[in-house]
Amino acid sequence: MPQSSLQKRRDRPCHLAIVVPCFNEEDVLPLSIATLLQQLREMIDADQCTKDSYVVLVDDGSSDSTWDVIEEAVNDHVGSFRGLRLARNVGHQAALLAGLDYANGRCDAAISIDADLQDDIDAMPRMIDAYRTGAELVLGVRKSRDVDTWFKRNSAVGFYRVLRWMGVDLVENHADFRLMSAAALRHLSEFSEYNLFLRGLVPMLHSRIETVTYDRSERAAGETKYPTRKMLSLAWNGITSFSVQPLRFISAMGFLVFFITLALLAYAMVGVFSGQVIPGWASVVIPLYLLGGLLMISLGMVGEYIAKLFLEAKQRPRFFVDTIVGDPTRNE
């Protein structure tokens, strides 16, 4: 980075946008709003961010009173909050993207954080410090997973291991709590993929990456919006969006079966010449089912990638913004 722009970052407070996706968060949101406001004010007082820094609350098609809570915050604390209402529920990753897309061009840096504030917002000032010393991406990394259930903790560890094995470059224990500079946001906006796995994309956006560690606490109120089904689908999406390893695995399996068959053939030939004829039922039926199963799994796996291509080829929009409130440059 040129010395002059680094100097600018150091000298001036940063124009910050905090992006928060919210889906049916009426229970926890009032508390989160108060905490975020407090944090924002502290950072402004400490000259870390500018007075017009703000929080963008993205309502991901909630069916409860989340939007009312957001509108109230926007009206009560003019300038500090903005609300983005999506036309329908598109899921955490796309909702986050909608918020980041809004922040692109409207800030020096954006920090994304979940609405339940499980991620420690005290790490924000440290993220800004890292940004001001030249980082374009600052990733929040959890120290421990003590507060998670046994299942979530172990499935997460397994997930990172499998992904790494498949060649996906992920920072362990980093979820979606991160700071992205204006440049990183601009780079992100060039990616138009429909199947979004932000965690996997982030390392591709810039090389000046730093990490900040923090402790993750329990959800303050409300329930998790990530049931096991959604978690598995996120994991699967992560694998198939970033790795072709499963497809290679199919070819490897094909070769293996082929060579085993050759060996069996040799064995059978020996049997014929030595006059011992195998009764034959098991040796026919077992490979038949085995191969049938393998073939179906393989086809399914290939189909999974084709489905992905199908979705990408359509180039469908990933979200629709229905309403924006609290944006000073718009007439509402």
List of residues contacting ligand UDP (CB under 6 A): 21-23, 25, 60, 89, 91-92, 95, 114-116, 118, 224-226
Q: Which is nearer to Mg ion, 36 or 325 (CB)?
A: 36
- Min separation Cβ 152 and ligand UDP, Å: 8
Alpha-carbon span 139 to 180, nearest angstrom: 9
Q: Which is nearer to ligand UDP, 192 or 224 (CB)?
A: 224
Alpha-carbon span 290 to 193, nearest angstrom: 37
- Min separation Cβ 23 and ligand UDP, Å: 3
- Min separation Cβ 216 and ligand UDP, Å: 9
Q: Which is nearer to Mg ion, 112 or 118 (CB)?
A: 118
The residues, any chain, with a CB within 8 Å of residue 130's CB and separated by 6 or more, are: 138, 179, 210, 212
Q: Which is nearer to ligand UDP, 89 or 195 (CB)?
A: 89
- Min separation Cβ 173 and ligand UDP, Å: 13
The answer to whether 180 and 228 have CB atoms below 8 angstroms apart is no
Q: What angle do CA 182, 191, 329 make, to 5 degrees?
A: 45
Give residues in contact with Mg ion (CB under 5 A): 114, 116, 118
115, interface contact from ligand UDP, Mg ion, none, CB < 5-8 Å by kind: ligand UDP
Owner of token pair 């600052």: 138
Is residue 201 helix, strand or coil?
Answer: helix
The residues, any chain, with a CB within 8 Å of residue 129's CB and separated by 6 or more, are: 48
Q: Which is nearer to ligand UDP, 95 or 325 (CB)?
A: 95
Alpha-carbon span 137 to 133, nearest angstrom: 11
189, interface contact from Mg ion, ligand UDP, none, CB < 5-8 Å by kind: none
67, interface contact from ligand UDP, Mg ion, none, CB < 5-8 Å by kind: none
Alpha-carbon span 142 to 150, nearest angstrom: 16
Closest to 62 measured CA to CA, from 71, 51, 53, 74: 71
Retrieve residue 173's tokens. Answer: 């224990």
92, interface contact from Mg ion, ligand UDP, none, CB < 5-8 Å by kind: ligand UDP
298, interface contact from Mg ion, ligand UDP, none, CB < 5-8 Å by kind: none
326, interface contact from ligand UDP, Mg ion, none, CB < 5-8 Å by kind: none
The answer to whether 271 and 278 have CB atoms below 8 angstroms apart is yes
Q: Which is nearer to Mg ion, 114 or 120 (CB)?
A: 114
21, interface contact from ligand UDP, Mg ion, none, CB < 5-8 Å by kind: ligand UDP
- Min separation Cβ 116 and Mg ion, Å: 4
Alpha-carbon span 285 to 279, nearest angstrom: 12
Q: Which is nearer to ligand UDP, 24 or 104 (CB)?
A: 24
SS3 per-residue string spanning 265-292: HHHHHHHHHCCCCCCCHHHHHHHHHHHH
